[in-house]
Amino acid sequence: KKYKSVHLTKRSTKTIFLKIKMENEDAQKALQCKERGNDYFKNKQYIEAIEQYDKAITLDPNEASFYANRAACYLGLKKFSNCIADCQETINRKPDFIKAWKRKARAHFSIGEMEMAKKCYEKAAEIDPSDKSIKD
C-alpha cells in the first residue's frame, strides 16, 4: 500500500480530535442504551427494550450486537419479518454472529419458510460445529 502524507494544521487537528471525542461519547451512550435494553429484555419488556436498542443504533449504527438484540425482541413479539431484517443487518456487520443465524432460522421456520430456516441453521452449524443447540 502507498500512503499519502497529509499536512494537518492546528485547526484540522482540533477538528479531528473533537470528532473522535464525539464518536467515543456516542459509543458510550449507545452502550448505556444497550444495557438498559438488556434489562428490559430480561423482564420480557420487548417494546421498551426495542426503544433502547433503537437509540443505541442511532448513536452507533455499525455495532452488530444492537441489531442482534433488537432481533431477539422482535422474535419474542412474533414480529418475524422484523427479526429477519435485523438478523440480516447483524450478519452484514459480523458474518460469524451465530446467534443472528439461529434467530433468523427460527423466524423463517415460524413463518413456514423451511428451506430458508434450514440454510440459516446450516450456516450456524458451519460457524460452530460443536453447538449442540443446532440439530440435524
Percentage of the residues of the chain whose pLDDT score is greater than 90:
75
pTM: 0.82
Q: What is the pLDDT of residues 109-126, one digit of tens each?
A: 999 999 999 999 999 999
C-alpha cell at 1: 500500500
Q: With left for phi above 0 and alpha for psi between -120 and 50, is residue 21 left, alpha or beta?
A: alpha
Say if residues 93 and 64 touch (Cβ distance below 8 Å).
yes
Give the CA dihedral 85, 65, 116, 119, nearest 10 degrees: 150
Tell me: pLDDT of 26 over 90: no
